Structure 1
Amino acid sequence: MHPIRDPELAAGLAAFEQLVPGGINLDDIPAARRFLAEMNAAMAAEAPPIPGVVSRDEHAPGPAGAPDVMVRVYEPEDRPEILPALLWIHGGGYVLGSVEQDDLKAKSLALSLNCVVASVEYRLAPEHPFPAPLEDCYAALKWLAASADQLGVNPKRIAIGGASAGGGLAAGLGLLARDRGEVDVCYQLLIYPMLDDTNVKPAGPGTPDAPLWTRANNLIGWRSYLGQEPGSEGISTYAAPFRAQDVSGLPPTFVGVGTPDLFRDEDIAYAQRLMQAGVPTELHVYADGFHAFDLFAPESDAAQRFTAEYTRLLKRALHS
């Protein structure tokens, strides 16, 4: 395990370990989902309310032969006629999570960015492996652009973003939107994204485990999402964006990750590939920033800097 020297972040990690003794366990995914939902509900009940934003649930036409996709739309109560939009994709290792878990996050983004936030309730693996979750996100993106007039959204100022597996889906969605050419994406926000299906080597001597999101969980997440063994031949670059060699033509991008995060090396390498392809890219690496450090140590200096930086950059992209 990587040592966490920052006392604020160490306290945040200790709080998580106290809240989740033994850490997240994906050996029983339905049980993990129930536990996560209960934990998020308890945390939300203790969080202060966020006034000034309203939300409603809409439904985007689903992919061919699939159900419609629920999209929760957030907007500032006091808003101009037209606003930019952010399509937000929740995390959870491709197997956990929901729109509900990011409710406060989406409200905060709508207010701080002065934009419409559309949060996607995509289908989860292993019941619905790739391409179902990504196609749900694409369906939501198409609906957001097509419904711009009704939603009061500028279709030329739509960004995509997410954290962890949500960041991986956002990266895959960026590639898919580029190649299908149906929707313009002005920015992609990749928060410690889960990109590389080959990063599943077991922990052991010389291979330290990572705090919060472990190597064992990563293997289960990827195996569930891909419907086959991670690292196999022929896996789509839309499923595992780290495999994409041609990343030219992607929108400007923010990539943020911490040094003890399991995704550190793949995120840095992907950001470098974007830079080499001429994609305007901001890469930010935070010392001692364990996976989801901004959620479990939100008052820490590192989390405050992290949130302020990506918010500032995304707001500039949306409103430029």
Structure 2
Amino acid sequence: MADFRHFAHPNPEWVEFPRNLPPGTKTCGLSRERDEIRPQHGLTIEEFEINARDDYPIRLRTYRKQTCHDALPLLLYMHGGGYVTGSLETDDVPLRAVALHVDVMIVSVEYRLAPEHKFPVGFEDCFDIVRWAASLDGQQRLNVDLSKGFILGGTSAGANFTAGISHLALREGLSPRLTGLIFLAGSFCHPDVRPEKYRDQILSIDEINDAPGLTRDSINLFASKYAAPPEDLRLSPLLFDSHKDIAKKAYFAVCGWDPRRDEGLLLERLLREEGLSTKIHVYTGLPHGFWGVCPDLPVSKTWLQHLLEGISWLLE
């Protein structure tokens, strides 16, 4: 068994966060707030609503390069926040950067949050948008050509949704099929139902409890508010018998000093062994979702460059 503990050796800037950060470093927290769209030269950014299965209006924000008039491939994105916080603002800045640098239509989903909307509401909101985007009406509304690429992805909770939805979309025969997946600091299995054959490979959830931003206590708190049964495959997609054919390619960003680290490393290996092409970046000594907490640090800018390269690779 590979030992990944060396990835957790803390980056000195993040020890005793935020005391050791460079002077003047901007830090960002998660919020449910949604702001008015801030216009940006070179981009068309719009919002509209699509009804969920219970007729709840799900707010979507789209990003598109103004010079791209032809039908584009699609990236459907879901933010993180432990199922209980986060909004369309959470990843607005990096999504703008992706839209400026990659010819792709981006749709960001404002799914409902716990504890007001417990499991599986947020998951189903996102799955409903995936189905809508794959429909003729969705493709026409978005001006996308899914034969050029149909990517699903997200951060943390959004990456968890990505894994579960990709499996269920394959089971139900979603057409067009997903071509690419993005897993950014993802979680893929409730700690209490880790498969015995992988238990000695998922150690970070027990061993890393000193990193800023995410600890076992906060994981348990989020889980109690979300209230998903641990063994439900929509929460613990690592429990699916096979991961074959859920997409053609998958891109992973894994944080080394993160309780969820080992799940990401394991899932990347399993997908690769089952025939998916994978690309992975591991950020040694950096905590869960560091790029969103301190977006102006050089290492966060490196992460963004890696993301741009990863999405371009998914579209090749």
The bucket for the TM-score relative to the shorter chain is 0.7 to 0.9
SS of residue in 2 equivalent to 1:55: strand
- Distance in 1 (CA, whole Å) between partners of 2:227 and 2:261 is 21
- Distance in 1 (CA, whole Å) between partners of 2:222 and 2:293 is 21
Q: Find the counterpart in structure 2 of residue 198 from structure 1.
A: 191
Offset, 1:264: 0.6
Q: Structure 2 vs 1, CA of residues 10 and 295 (structure 1 numbering), >3 Å: closer, same or farther? A: farther
Counterpart check, 1:211 vs 2:212: yes
Structure 2 gap ranges (5+): 1-7, 194-201
Work out which of the residue numbers 260, 282, 306 in structure 2 matches 1:309: 306
* Contact 2:25–2:296 (Cα < 8 Å) also in 1: no
Offset, 1:12: 7.4
Q: Find the counterpart in structure 2 of residue 257 from structure 1.
A: 254
Q: Find the counterpart in structure 2 of residue 239 from structure 1.
A: 235
Q: Which residue identity is paired with 1:151? A: L
Counterpart check, 1:150 vs 2:141: yes
SS of residue in 2 equivalent to 1:287: strand
Compute the TM-score of the two structures, normalised by the length of structure 2.
0.81
Q: Which residue identity is paired with 1:171? A: A
Q: Which residue identity is paired with 1:293? A: F
Number of matched residues? 293
Q: Find the counterpart in structure 2 of residue 27 from structure 1.
A: none
Q: Find the counterpart in structure 1 of residue 44 from structure 2.
A: 54
- Distance in 2 (CA, whole Å) between partners of 1:10 and 1:299 is 18
- Distance in 2 (CA, whole Å) between partners of 1:12 and 1:127 is 31
Q: Find the counterpart in structure 1 of residue 69 from structure 2.
A: 80
Offset, 1:104: 2.3
The root-mean-square deviation of aligned C-alpha atoms, in Å, is 3.4
Counterpart check, 1:274 vs 2:271: yes
- Distance in 2 (CA, whole Å) between partners of 1:253 and 1:13 is 33
SS of residue in 2 equivalent to 1:159: strand
- Distance in 1 (CA, whole Å) between partners of 2:277 and 2:205 is 37
SS of residue in 2 equivalent to 1:83: coil
Comparing 113-122 with 295-304, greater Cα deviation is found at 295-304
- Distance in 2 (CA, whole Å) between partners of 1:173 and 1:206 is 29
Q: Which residue identity is paired with 1:172? A: G
Q: Structure 2 vs 1, CA of residues 276 and 49 (structure 1 numbering), >3 Å: closer, same or farther? A: same
Alignment of 1:105-120 (within 5 A): 105-120=94-109
Structure 1 gap ranges (5+): 25-32
Q: Which residue identity is paired with 2:81? A: G
* Contact 2:208–2:257 (Cα < 8 Å) also in 1: no
- Distance in 1 (CA, whole Å) between partners of 2:103 and 2:10 is 35
Q: Find the counterpart in structure 2 of residue 137 from structure 1.
A: 126
- Distance in 1 (CA, whole Å) between partners of 2:189 and 2:292 is 23
Identity %: 26
Counterpart check, 1:89 vs 2:78: yes
SS of residue in 1 equivalent to 2:160: helix
* Contact 1:91–1:97 (Cα < 8 Å) also in 2: yes
- Distance in 2 (CA, whole Å) between partners of 1:171 and 1:208 is 25
- Distance in 2 (CA, whole Å) between partners of 1:60 and 1:5 is 42
Q: Which residue identity is paired with 1:244? A: F
Q: Which residue identity is paired with 1:126? A: P
* Contact 1:189–1:254 (Cα < 8 Å) also in 2: yes
- Distance in 1 (CA, whole Å) between partners of 2:295 and 2:109 is 24
Comparing 96-105 with 153-162, greater Cα deviation is found at 96-105
SS of residue in 2 equivalent to 1:289: strand
* Contact 2:189–2:236 (Cα < 8 Å) also in 1: yes
SS of residue in 1 equivalent to 2:286: coil
Q: Find the counterpart in structure 1 of residue 221 from structure 2.
A: 220
* Contact 1:106–1:117 (Cα < 8 Å) also in 2: yes
SS of residue in 2 equivalent to 1:71: strand
- Distance in 1 (CA, whole Å) between partners of 2:18 and 2:145 is 40
- Distance in 2 (CA, whole Å) between partners of 1:131 and 1:199 is 19
- Distance in 1 (CA, whole Å) between partners of 2:121 and 2:25 is 32
Offset, 1:246: 1.0
- Distance in 1 (CA, whole Å) between partners of 2:116 and 2:276 is 35
- Distance in 1 (CA, whole Å) between partners of 2:273 and 2:12 is 32
